[in-house]
Amino acid sequence: MGTEDSIRPFEVDVSEVAVDDLRRRLDDARWPDDPPVPGWEYGADPTYLRTLCEYWRDEFDWDAFERRFNRFDQFTTSVDGQRVHFYHVRSPDPDAVPLLLSHGWPGSVAEFLDVLGPLSDPSAHGGDTSDAFHVVAPSLPGYGFSGPTDEPGYDVRRIATVFDDLMDRLGYDRYVAQGGDWGALITAILGATRPDRVAAIHTNLLFVSPSRFEDPTGMLDEEGMADYEATKAARDGETGYQAIQSTKPQTLAYGLTDSPVGLAAWIVEKFLTWSDSDGDVESSFDRDRLLDNLSVYWLTGTINASMRLYYETEFAEVVPDSVDVPTGHARYPVEVSRTPRAWAEAVYDIEHWVDMPEGGHFAAMEVPDLFVDDVRTFFADHRGFGGDPADG
Digitized pLDDT (tens) for each residue of the chain, 392 residues in all:
455 679 999 999 999 999 999 999 999 999 999 999 999 999 999 999 999 999 999 999 999 999 999 999 999 999 989 999 999 999 999 899 999 999 999 999 999 999 999 999 999 999 999 999 999 999 999 999 999 999 999 999 999 999 999 999 999 999 999 999 999 999 999 999 999 999 999 999 999 999 889 999 999 999 999 999 988 888 888 899 999 999 999 999 999 999 999 999 999 999 999 999 999 999 999 999 999 999 999 999 999 999 999 999 998 899 999 999 999 999 999 998 999 999 999 999 999 999 999 999 999 999 999 999 999 999 999 998 876 765 44
- Which residue in the list 164, 181, 276, 374 is annotated as catalytic? 181
Query: Residues near 221 by Cβ (< 8 Å), separated by ≥ 6?
Result: 342
In this structure, which amino acid lies at residue 325?
Answer: V
Q: What pLDDT is stored for residue 73 in this prediction?
A: 97
User: Does 74 reside within a domain?
Assistant: yes
The reply to whether 361 belongs to the active site is yes
In this structure, how many other beta carbons lie within 10 angstroms of the beta carbon of residue 322?
11
Catalytic: 310?
Answer: yes
- In angstroms, the CA 238 to CA 271 distance is 12
How much is the pLDDT for 392? 42
- Residue 62 covered by a domain: yes
Q: Please state, in angstroms and rounded to a whole number, the distance separating the CA atoms of residues 292 and 273.
A: 19
Query: Is residue 392 a part of any domain in this protein?
Result: no
pLDDT for 358-374, tens place per residue?
999 999 999 999 999 99
List the catalytic residue out of 310, 329, 374, 382: 310
Strand 175-179 and strand 198-203: the pairing is parallel
d(CA 155, CA 317): 10
Does any domain span residue 159? Answer: yes
Catalytic entry in 103, 202, 329, 361: 361
> Contact, 104 vs 181, CB < 8 A?
yes
- pLDDT of the residue at 234: 84
Whether 61 maps to a domain, the answer reads: yes
For the chain, where are the alpha helices, taking DSSP H only?
A: 16-27, 46-58, 62-69, 116-120, 156-169, 182-193, 222-238, 240-247, 249-258, 260-273, 287-300, 303-312, 315-318, 341-347, 363-366, 368-379
Q: What is the mean pLDDT of the chain?
A: 95
pLDDT at 3: 57
Residue 237: the pLDDT is 84
**Cβ–Cβ under 8 Å, residues 383 and 175:** no
Domain of 260: which CATH number? 3.40.50.1820
Q: CB–CB of 338/231 below 8 Å?
A: yes
Residue 391's pLDDT is 43
385 located within any domain: no
The Cα 218–Cα 365 span in angstroms is 36
Please indicate, yes or no, if residue 387 is contained in any of the structural domains: no
Structural domain boundaries enclosing 215 = 8-379
Domain count along the chain: 1
Residue 93 belongs to what H/E stretch? Answer: none
Could you read off the pLDDT of 249-290 as tens digits, one per residue? 999 999 999 999 999 999 999 999 999 999 999 999 999 999
pLDDT digits (tens, 9 = 90+) for 209-247: 998 899 999 999 999 999 999 888 888 888 999 999 999
What's the Cα-to-Cα distance from 350 to each of 12, 231, 274, 322, 323, rounded to whole Å? 39, 20, 25, 12, 9
Q: In this structure, is residue 305 part of a structural domain?
A: yes
